[in-house]
Amino acid sequence: MTWRDDVRVLRRLLALFAPWRRWMIAGAAVALLALLANVALLAVAGDFIASMALAGAAAVAINYFTPAAMIRGAAIARTAGRYVERLLTHEATFRLLAHLRLWFYRRIEPLAPERLQRWRSADLMSRMLADIETLNQVYLRLFVPLAVGVAGSVLALSVMALYSRAVAASTAALLVVAGVLLPALLRRRGAPAAARQLQLRTQLRVDVADALAGAAELRVYGGEARALQRVHDGSDALLHEQRRLAELAGLAAGGVGLCANMALWFALLWALPQVAARQLAPAHLAMLALFALAVFEAVAPLPLAFQLLGEMLAAARRLFELADIEPPPQPAASPRPHDASVVLRDVRLRYADDAPWALDGVDLELAAGARLALVGASGAGKSSVVQLLARFRDYAGSARVGGHELRDYAGDDARALLAVVSQDDYLFHGTLLDNLLLARPDASEAQIVDACRCAQLHDFIVGLPDGYHSNLGEGGMLLSGGQARRLALARALLKDAPILILDEPTEGLDAATERELFAALAQAMAGRTVLLISHRLGALAALVDEVAVLHAGRVVQRGRAAALATQPGPYAALRELYEPG
């Protein structure tokens, strides 16, 4: 990447920060005032102490009230300024954090899931959390130090030049070394390590997430040691890069300190002849020496800021990589559905251009109010039908919902026609009521209770100490499998969509829980068009009018469950495989 690319990325970030520019400018301005107060404190204190010593030696009286007041004022301004600076800069940072996350989510939400399938979920989460946190440093650790460093150095040198141009010139030269050359060197040496650190941190998160998610499978197949070694290797590589960056940061701090001390000695070197020639007051010698030393506070953060610039730019590019993806085209306005019918004609769907067809010419018709079970072995294409109807995937052929082509609906409008209950419906860390209201935020209390009664869940809820305000824990961990499934069903019922899709609703449940859910499903289906997806029906067969068998992306058999069970064919084979005896 060239420096022009880096500038382009930074300008784009500044454009994103524009809504909070007043907070940003206010924070930088107060930081500048705190810096100038500290420089003034040291300079005036040096002049004051030297003047008092000289006056005492010469036994003369001097006005010490004015410099003493200036010192106290500068000390108060420095303390108050640093406190207010922390308030303003951190408030601006938190606002930028919230703004960036919301902006990023709004950019990638229309891309899910079709155009985000190349990225792992842990990688996406890392971009939304860790990368955006890294970008917060752009303001706090780059823009503020840079603005304060430039403005503070110019103002301090201008005042210094009023006393000695030679001292101001030598200090300016060393400020250029500490604030320009040293950061440029650190940027060149540290940028690759900073970028690698970001990549390694992201990969480590992915590896840890994979190891935790697949812990059971790794234990069964003896892969725990290999997964653990991969995490250890990633951690060692990350520590190596962090150690490299820490060494560079130490060198930078030492370099700035060396330049500051050299500026002090050069100030003495240039000022002493002026004092001897009576061109400079003796007390100003100490003032200029401390002035030259203090002004380096303006550029002290810059080497570290430019060292981290590589990591910041890498994080920004990772965000823009996703944010710049064009979302699927959406119609300007969605049609009004005539009914709750579903008609698929020669539908084909696949997950990548070079992938095999997940649906390969599906023909399926579901009249309004009808109940159809779609069965098939794993990989037959059942879940692909759900993704198709939810408008998550593009397709070839014709898919009509409510009498209109599915492509004519905007994504959200198409999904508003469906209520989906799957075996892995996610429950959020919140109350029962919070999780229910996700489906319909404006639902009344009566509507919520009716949905829970229909899902056979209300009696359980009112028996809890906090009722509907009971907290579920992370992922709904405080609920049993059957209770979690009924809560997902209640959420779907509360949505009150005309088409109900049940994707493996009883998978993983014991017989008793399955019977309880069976009664809830029977009541939930009333008055709705129902598509029940499963690889085995069992007792659920009594809930549907017909069964369609999906094999290799095509419907190969259809009819009533009882009739199909007595005929040789795919349905009978599935029953023998999944429901022996």
Distance CA 264, CA 244 (A): 31
Whether residue 224 lies inside any domain: the answer is no
Name the residue among 205, 542, 260, 498 with its Cα closest to residue 373. Answer: 542
DSSP string, 241-302: HHHHHHHHHHHHHHHHHHHHHHHHHHHHHHHHHHHHTTSS-THHHHHHHHHHHHGGGGTTTH
Q: Categorize the per-residue pLDDT at 509 as very low, low, confident or very high, splitting at 50, 70 and 90.
A: low
Distance CA 160, CA 46 (A): 14
Last residue of a domain, one of 294, 323, 352: 323
Last residue of a domain, one of 323, 358, 385: 323
On whether both 105 and 246 belong to a single domain, the answer is yes
pLDDT above 80 (res 453): yes
pLDDT above 80 (res 434): yes
Give per-residue pLDDT as tens, 271-322: 888 888 888 888 888 888 888 999 999 999 988 888 888 888 888 998 999 9
pLDDT above 70 (res 77): yes
On whether both 260 and 349 belong to a single domain, the answer is no
Q: Categorize the per-residue pLDDT at 172 as very low, low, confident or very high, splitting at 50, 70 and 90.
A: very high
CATH of the domain at 424: 3.40.50.300
Whether residue 221 lies inside any domain: the answer is no
Residue carrying structure tokens 């005309």: 498
Q: Categorize the per-residue pLDDT at 1 as very low, low, confident or very high, splitting at 50, 70 and 90.
A: low
DSSP string, 363-381: EEEE-TT-EEEEE--TTSS
Domains of the chain: total: 2
pLDDT above 60 (res 148): yes
Distance CA 564, CA 544 (A): 13
Name the residue among 484, 483, 492, 452 with its Cα closest to residue 468. Answer: 452
Residue 193: predicted pLDDT? 83
Mean per-residue pLDDT for 398-416? 88
Mean per-residue pLDDT for 348-357? 86
On whether both 88 and 56 belong to a single domain, the answer is yes
The tokens describing 30, both together, are 């107060």
Last residue of a domain, one of 323, 352, 370: 323
Name the amino acid, one letter, at 23: W
Residue 68 near residue 48 (C-beta atoms within 8 A): yes
Give per-residue pLDDT as tens, 213-235: 788 888 888 888 898 999 999 99
Name the amino acid, one letter, at 199: Q
Report the chain's terminal Cα–Cα distance, integer Å: 66
Mean per-residue pLDDT for 515-520? 72
Taking all residues of the chain, what is their mean pLDDT, rounded to a whole number? 86
On whether both 526 and 493 belong to a single domain, the answer is yes
Residue 202 near residue 132 (C-beta atoms within 8 A): no
On whether both 305 and 395 belong to a single domain, the answer is no
DSSP string, 438-461: TT-TT--HHHHHHHHHHTT-HHHH
On whether both 296 and 436 belong to a single domain, the answer is no
Residue 440 near residue 380 (C-beta atoms within 8 A): no
Separate counts of helices (H) and strands (E) for the chain = 21, 10
Whether residue 68 lies inside any domain: the answer is yes
Name the residue among 201, 131, 190, 150 with its Cα closest to residue 309. Answer: 190
Residue 237: predicted pLDDT? 92
Alpha-helical regions (H) of 164-223 = 165-176, 182-213, 215-220
Mean per-residue pLDDT for 393-413? 89
The tokens describing 426, both together, are 């996610």
Whether residue 331 lies inside any domain: the answer is no
Name the amino acid, one letter, at 507: E
On whether both 290 and 377 belong to a single domain, the answer is no
Q: Element (H or E) spanning 555, and its range?
A: strand 554-559
Q: Categorize the per-residue pLDDT at 578 as very low, low, confident or very high, splitting at 50, 70 and 90.
A: low
Greatest mean pLDDT among 1-10, 52-61, 92-101, 114-123: 92-101
Mean per-residue pLDDT for 165-189? 90
Mean per-residue pLDDT for 79-87? 92
pTM higher than the cut 0.85: no
DSSP string, 76-98: HHHHHHHHHHHHHHHHHHHHHHH
Whether residue 233 lies inside any domain: the answer is no
Mean per-residue pLDDT for 66-80? 88
On whether both 269 and 361 belong to a single domain, the answer is no
Whether residue 235 lies inside any domain: the answer is no
> Domain residues for 282?
3-191+242-323
CB atoms within 10 A of CB 177: 17
Give per-residue pLDDT as tens, 535-572: 767 767 778 888 888 888 889 888 888 888 888 888 88
Q: Categorize the per-residue pLDDT at 158 as very low, low, confident or very high, splitting at 50, 70 and 90.
A: very high
Distance CA 167, CA 288 (A): 8
On whether both 319 and 276 belong to a single domain, the answer is yes
Mean per-residue pLDDT for 489-503? 87
Whether residue 202 lies inside any domain: the answer is no
Distance CA 459, CA 448 (A): 13
Residue 37: predicted pLDDT? 92
| 372 vs 51: which has the higher pLDDT | 372
Residue 325 near residue 278 (C-beta atoms within 8 A): no
On whether both 114 and 148 belong to a single domain, the answer is yes
Phi, psi angle pair for 441, to nearest 5°: -60, -25
CATH of the domain at 275: 1.20.1560.10
On whether both 513 and 462 belong to a single domain, the answer is yes
Residue 261: predicted pLDDT? 92
Whether residue 335 lies inside any domain: the answer is no
| 239 vs 453: which has the higher pLDDT | 239
Residue 581: predicted pLDDT? 54
Q: Categorize the per-residue pLDDT at 477 as very low, low, confident or very high, splitting at 50, 70 and 90.
A: confident
Distance CA 87, CA 30 (A): 10
On whether both 394 and 487 belong to a single domain, the answer is yes
